[in-house]
Amino acid sequence: MPMPGLTTVLLAPRQNSSDAQDVRISEELGRHLVATRDFQPGDAILTEEPLVFAPKATADPEAFMPCVGCYKKVFTDMEERCPDCGWPVCSGNCPGLKDPQHHGAECQILSLRPECVLDDMADYYRHDALLPLRCLLLQKTDPDKWSRLMEMQSHMECRTPGTESYDEADEFIVQYLMNNFLNLLTTSEAKLDMKFIQNLSPELIHKICGIVDTNALEIRLGDGIELHAIYAKTSFMEHSCIPNTKHTFNVSNQGKNEFLKITIKAVVPIMKNNHVTTMYSHALWGTLARRQHLKDTKYFSCKCERCSDPTELGTYLSAMKCLGDGNNPCDGIHLPEDPLDDETDWACNKCSVKVNNSQVSMIISQMGEEVENVQMMNPSVPILESLLPNLMSQEILDRKIKMCKDLIFVTKTLDPGNARLSLYTAVLQHELHSALVAKSKKTNVDGTFKSVTEVKELLSEAKIALDEALSSLKDDVDESAGSKLHSVIKNSEKDFKDLCKKKDIYF
């Protein structure tokens, strides 16, 4: 339903009466999508090709980079280079090097600096600058896409000189492109056939950076390679912390216009006139972190149902244990009095202690650092487990079962349609199944054996958990992390069937 008190007018008449969504505009949301008919979970609402896409810088660009023609992982010590511009590639014959949809158009610009380097490669070859460059080139290569891109929101009113977003874009993208390539164009214009690029100003590149930061979607190809892409209609989707859609990308490089085609599917029932929503933030972050992230990167304050509820839909995801007043311990919990107020106090539900929002932010960032420190030690699961006494005691298995169930409640409540947390849910269901199976093999606390009925009950619950783990991954199997997890769970399913057969138990 349109949000209360929201003026919503139809922006563009539907081009095609079969369109499943209208683009509307409102004062609060800007352009957004509204369903023109009812959708059931799994129904496709929209599918489209990207206007433009490009590879992103990798996390370790000194070690490996994406090929600029086909986005395969290229180790930087391989020394394969594009014959014209010298950027690292999988092979000098990569078909994407001449294809204007990939490297073909930008190569003319990048070859203005034909020298190759082997040191400081991350600084010399900045892949993050390629999407803004490919956007800029649409002026010449596809004026229709260019005008659609230029209509997108850039938030330039907030990205003024001196702000972090402006200064970062200036240093890492605008100056990089101007100094290394675009300034050289004026002297080589005739040679380069770039006359149709009418505007190459730093201001325009800043606007493009704003459009990219506001609208681009990230696409993981696996192997540490990521792309980002901009979609004309998809980008109208508004944010909600409980989104009603999920999206998938076609990442197979076959079929010229199919590459990176996006499909938006309903994950819960969406009625005619409902807003079609997506998630710009992380579903497992607490309200404070999500709202701050949305404000910093997308320049709005989220007021969705989850953000407005201090308990986050009964999950208590952000709740903090009360430490008491220093003299008297307390087992209460702190929740924000008004989660939509950045200055809110957090009150305890049992005693009179209150903490303010900035203290809570500090505690959260300290805790984040502690978790990071543990992760930096790269502890293996067996090492972590060895810290636990009497590892697989019945008590610990019961604790694990309860913990899995509690966390499954959280992921299911925050993401009822498996739009964002499918991998988390699958891991939790899989762990729940392992704990139930382990428990079925254990003697009771008093040393007696479990009855056949007890074993059957535990294994029946384990089977449900395994089935749910596999079903929550059904849209993720084409993607690298999803497919790895899927094969691990499939192996467990085989072991589980063998165990049931041995025990003569059939479901």
| Interface residues toward ligand SAM, by CB under 6 A | 28-32, 152-153, 214-215, 235-236, 238-239, 298-300, 302
Residue 152 CB contacts under 8 Å (≥ 6 apart), including other chains? 211, 214, 215, 230, 235
CB of 155 to ligand SAM, least distance (A): 6
By beta-carbon proximity to ligand SAM, the closer residue of 227 and 307 is: 307
Indicate the burial class of 377 (C-beta count within 10 angstroms; 0-12, 13-18, 19 or more). exposed
| Interatomic CA distance for residues 490 and 59, integer angstroms | 31
**First vs last C-alpha separation in the chain:** 43
By beta-carbon proximity to ligand SAM, the closer residue of 110 and 241 is: 241
CB of 196 to ligand SAM, least distance (A): 26
By beta-carbon proximity to ligand SAM, the closer residue of 21 and 214 is: 214
Other C-beta atoms closer than 10 Å to the C-beta of 325 total: 12
By beta-carbon proximity to ligand SAM, the closer residue of 250 and 308 is: 308
CB of 279 to ligand SAM, least distance (A): 10
User: Taking every pair of C-alpha atoms in the chain, what is the biggest distance, in angstroms?
Assistant: 89
DSSP annotation of 173:
I
By beta-carbon proximity to ligand SAM, the closer residue of 125 and 236 is: 236
Long-range contacts for 10-15 (Cβ within 8 Å, ≥24 apart)? none
By beta-carbon proximity to ligand SAM, the closer residue of 23 and 363 is: 23
By beta-carbon proximity to ligand SAM, the closer residue of 29 and 268 is: 29
Nearest 5°: CA angle at 460, between 455 and 466? 125
Q: Closest residue (Cβ) to ligand SAM?
A: 30
Query: Is residue 55 within 8 Å of 94, Cβ to Cβ?
Result: no
| Interatomic CA distance for residues 240 and 218, integer angstroms | 18
Q: Where are the alpha helices (DSSP H) in 21-94?
A: none
By beta-carbon proximity to ligand SAM, the closer residue of 113 and 293 is: 293
CB of 497 to ligand SAM, least distance (A): 46
Of the CA atoms within 13 Å of residue 249, those in its CB half-sphere come to: 23
CB of 236 to ligand SAM, least distance (A): 5
By beta-carbon proximity to ligand SAM, the closer residue of 296 and 495 is: 296
By beta-carbon proximity to ligand SAM, the closer residue of 20 and 67 is: 20
By beta-carbon proximity to ligand SAM, the closer residue of 153 and 480 is: 153
Of the CA atoms within 13 Å of residue 251, those in its CB half-sphere come to: 21
Q: What is the token pair recorded at 494? A: 């085989």
By beta-carbon proximity to ligand SAM, the closer residue of 31 and 306 is: 31
In 148-276, DSSP assigns E strands to 217-222, 225-230, 238-239, 245-249, 262-266
CB of 302 to ligand SAM, least distance (A): 6
By beta-carbon proximity to ligand SAM, the closer residue of 109 and 242 is: 242
CB of 262 to ligand SAM, least distance (A): 13
Phi–psi pair at 36, nearest 5 degrees: -100, -5
- Of 51, 50, 93, which Cα lies nearest the Cα of 70? 93
Q: Tell me the DSSP string of 231-244.
A: -TTGGGPEE-SS-S
CB of 17 to ligand SAM, least distance (A): 24
Nearest 5°: CA angle at 25, between 19 and 31? 75
CB of 430 to ligand SAM, least distance (A): 33
Q: What is the token pair recorded at 303? A: 């007021």
CB of 249 to ligand SAM, least distance (A): 17
Nearest 5°: CA angle at 329, between 325 and 330? 90
Indicate the burial class of 256 (C-beta count within 10 angstroms; 0-12, 13-18, 19 or more). exposed
Residue 221 CB contacts under 8 Å (≥ 6 apart), including other chains? 71, 227, 251, 480
CB of 278 to ligand SAM, least distance (A): 9
Query: Is residue 52 within 8 Å of 131, Cβ to Cβ?
Result: yes
CB of 340 to ligand SAM, least distance (A): 12
DSSP annotation of 323:
-
- Of 150, 70, 140, which Cα lies nearest the Cα of 102? 70
CB of 134 to ligand SAM, least distance (A): 19
